[in-house]
A and B are shown apart, each in its own frame.
Chain A
Amino acid sequence: MTDQAYNFAYLDEDTKRMIRRAILKGVAVPGYQVPFASREMPMPYGWGTGGVQVTAACLAPDDVLKVIDQGADDTTNAVSIRKFFVATAGVAVTEATADATIIQTRHRIPEAVLTAGQILVYQVPIPEPLRFLEPRETETRKMHELEEYGLMHVKLYEDIAKHGQIATSYAYPVRVEGRYVMDPSPIPKFDNPKLSGSAALQLFGAGREQRIYAVPPFTHVVSLDFDDHPFSPSKANHACDLCASNISYLDEVITDDQGGRMFVCSDTDYCASRRAAGHVGALGAPMATEKAAE
Chain B
Amino acid sequence: MTDLSHTFSAAADKPLLQVKNLTKSYGARIGCADISFDVYPGEVLGIVGESGSGKSTLLSCLAGHMRPDQGEVIFETANGARDTVQMGEAERRRLARTDWAYVHQNPRDGLRMGVSAGGNVGERLMAIGARHYGGIRDKAIDWLGRVEIDAGRVDDRPSAFSGGMQQRLQIARNLVTAPRLVFMDEPTGGLDVSVQARLLDLLRGLVREMGLSAIIVTHDLAVVRLLADRLMVMKGGHVVEAGLTDQVLDDPQHEYTQLLVSSVLQV
Contact = CB atoms under 8 A, between A and B. Distances in A.
Contact of B132 (A133, A145, A226): A226
Contact of B116 (A148, A158, A227, A229): A158
B148 interface: no
Interface string B47-73: 000000000000000000000000000
Given A133-B114, A226-B131, A161 B90 contact: no
A141 to B, nearest CB: 12
Interface in A142-156: 145-146, 148, 150-151, 153-154
B134 A161 contact: no
Contacts of A148: 93, 97, 127
Contact of A160 (B127, B133, B135): B133
A151 B89 CA distance: 18
A170 interface: no
Contact of B133 (A145, A146, A162, A228): A228
Interface in B56-101: 89-90, 93, 97
Q: Interface majority SS on A: helix, strand, loop or mixed?
A: helix
Interface string A113-153: 00000000000000000000100000000000110101101
A157 interface: yes
A150 B128 CA distance: 7
Contact of B136 (A133, A145, A146, A157): A157
Contact of A153 (B89, B97, B114, B131): B131
A226 B122 CA distance: 13
Interface residues of A, number: 18
B234 to A, nearest CB: 30
B132 A228 contact: yes
A21 B90 CA distance: 28
Looking at chain B's contact residues, the main secondary structure is: helix
A161 B119 contact: yes
A157 B112 contact: no
A161 B116 contact: yes
A151 B132 contact: no
A151 B114 CA distance: 12
Given A148-B93, A154-B112, A228 B119 contact: no
A48 to B, nearest CB: 29
B133 A133 contact: no
A130 B109 CA distance: 18
Nearest to B128: A150
Contacts of B126: 150-151, 153-154, 157
Interface in B131-170: 131-137, 154-155
A153 B89 CA distance: 22
Interface in A189-223: none
Interface in A243-292: none
B123 interface: yes
Given A146-B89, A227-B133, 8 more contacts: A133-B114, A154-B115, A157-B126, A158-B116, A161-B119, A226-B131, A228-B132, A228-B135
Interface of B: 89-90, 93, 97, 112, 114-116, 118-119, 122-124, 126-128, 131-137, 154-155
Interface of A: 133, 145-146, 148, 150-151, 153-154, 157-158, 160-162, 225-229
